[in-house]
Amino acid sequence: MISVQEARDIVLAQVKVLGTERKELLASLGRVIAEDVFAPHDVPPHNNSAMDGYAVRSEDTHHASREHPVTLNVIEDLPAGYVSQRYLQTGQAIRIMTGAPIPDGADAVVRVEDTLRGEGEQVLILREVPPLYDLRLAGEDIRQGDLILRQGDLLRPAEIGLLSSLGRSTIQVYQRPQVAILSTGDELLYIDEPLQPGKIYNSNSYSLAALVLDAGAIPIQLGIARDTREDLEQKFLAGARADVIISSGGVSVGDYDLVKEMLKKSGSEMQFWKVCMKPGKPQAFGAIAGKPTFGLPGNPVSSMVSFEVFVRPALLKMMGHTQIYRRVVTATLAEDFRKSDRRKHFVRVALRQENTRYIASTTGDQGSGILRSMAKAKGLMVVDEERMQIQAGESVAVMLLDHSFSMSSTRDF
Ligand SMILES: Nc1nc2c(c(=O)[nH]1)N[C@H]1C(S)=C(S)[C@@H](COP(=O)(O)OP(=O)(O)OC[C@H]3O[C@@H](n4cnc5c(N)ncnc54)[C@H](O)[C@@H]3O)O[C@H]1N2
Ligand code: MOO
Ligand SMILES: [Mg+2]
């Protein structure tokens, strides 16, 4: 039996970063950028007004006040999106809207609240403004030639906005792996079949496909393989058209646990079987037709936990991510915890926040078939091999299962 760390090293050494592809800008959200991006122009591209008001020559506002306004002649109205053809002379103002380019000759803006409309085309300036006042200068956000994003950066909404401000409509990103998902077992029913004696619904295909999607990869449902060598072989080979194969079940020591055999056939290889963890001890990893293949355990929680620990980091690596692990936080355990073996345990916990501290409490029955306690979990408490008991109040490490939606809160800031 190898340790979680050794197993993870083997997995990560085996999987390689995929190639790149060109995507529409919005479709690249959540992807890793595969190119360096330099700014082709300044942002903003021109000096422009930060306020609705009047473009002026700042020297004309000298000593202006509410008591002693300065009167200027308004020679033009300038909405955003238009360039003035006029040159502002002494004694003149141009009515200007936020974002409109500053006319030649002007060097400041007086916001409308600091003015009054005068006679005819005149405006009364009620305060003095220094040069550059309420101007936004060309290039104050981005300078032409600046390195804006580096290969390997994650494209989040702000990066998508930045790229669009540079006029980029497509972007080179790392590909998403196709992940073939195969459930094994004679007891399994498709979810649209009626329940029958001795049978259960195939839930692993769905939880695993959801995890694949949540990680940003592409699930391909291969359905159910029955516990025969022929069916398994045929379905595994079909899966080898994808970039990664995940199976669940059939990997322990039972009479019909045949997945290990698939990994030992000629043309395949098995790199490990059995990891010193709970849940998820019986699981295999290797390659079929050159494709990384995870033989996850059949128990519904075990397969999800093994995915979290091994498959997710591997998929993130393939997609070019550099941060491939879930965040781990320190929490205070709310109750006593005890274990009776020297495996690394991943315990389903709920988390609440008290001031700046996380408080973790287990979500109930930790059996490997109890999916409800997985659904309630916000994290997995990681209990090291040699740590046999933890007392209430002690600090523990919790790996956050922070899918963007499940970590949303009902409490606003
Ligand atoms: N003698 C031993 N028996 C078992 C051991 C052991 O060490 N010695 N380990 C147990 C542990 S721990 C686990 S985990 C399971 C792993 O079993 P397999 O990977 O061989 O999976 P199966 O036997 O096929 O199924 C186990 C369990 O999970 C249910 N299952 C399977 N696939 C699905 C699915 N797609 N959707 C929902 N539920 C599924 C299946 O019906 C079984 O109840 O082995 C233990 N046994
Ligand atoms: O390894 Mo099993 O996953 O403990 O239920
Ligand atoms: Mg079994």
CATH of the domain at 334: 2.40.340.10
Kindly compute the dihedral angle of the four CA atoms of residues 198, 201, 202, 208, in this order, to the nearest 10 degrees.
-140
Q: What protein residues have CB closer than 5 angstroms to ion ligand 3?
A: 252, 254, 257
Tell me, in angstroms, the distance from the centre of ligand 3 to residue 299's CA: 9
Same domain, 62 and 104: yes
Same domain, 269 and 281: yes
Same domain, 60 and 119: yes
Tell me the pLDDT tens digit for each residue of 3-25. Answer: 999 999 999 999 999 999 999 99
Domain-ending residue, one of 280, 295, 318: 318
φ/ψ of 157, rounded to 5, equals -55, -40
Rg of the chain, C-alpha, whole Å = 31
Is the pLDDT reported for residue 406 higher than 60?
no
Residue 354 falls within a domain, yes or no? Answer: yes
Give me the pLDDT at residue 10, please.
98
With a Cβ cut-off of 6 Å, ligand 2 is lined by 278-282, 297, 299, 302, 368
Residue 200 falls within a domain, yes or no? Answer: yes
The residue whose CA has the least distance to atom 5 of ligand 2 is 368
Same domain, 120 and 228: no
ipTM value, please give it.
0.98
Same domain, 39 and 159: yes
Average pLDDT value for residue range 159-166: 97
- Residues 309, 166: Cα–Cα separation, whole Å: 39
CATH of the domain at 159: 3.90.105.10
Residue 409 falls within a domain, yes or no? Answer: no
Same domain, 358 and 241: no
Domain-ending residue, one of 264, 294, 318: 318
Domain-ending residue, one of 295, 318, 341: 318
- The residue range of the domain holding 148 is 20-43+140-174
198 CB within 6 A, ligand 1: no
Query: How many domains is the chain built from?
Result: 4
Same domain, 167 and 306: no
Residue 303 falls within a domain, yes or no? Answer: yes
pTM: 0.93
Same domain, 263 and 281: yes
Same domain, 33 and 129: no
DSSP per position, 109-178:
EEEGGGEEE-STTEEEE-S---TTTTEE-TTSSB-TT-EEE-TT-B--HHHHHHHHHTT--EEEEEPPPE
Tell me the pLDDT tens digit for each residue of 35-79. Answer: 999 999 999 999 999 999 999 999 999 999 999 999 999 999 999
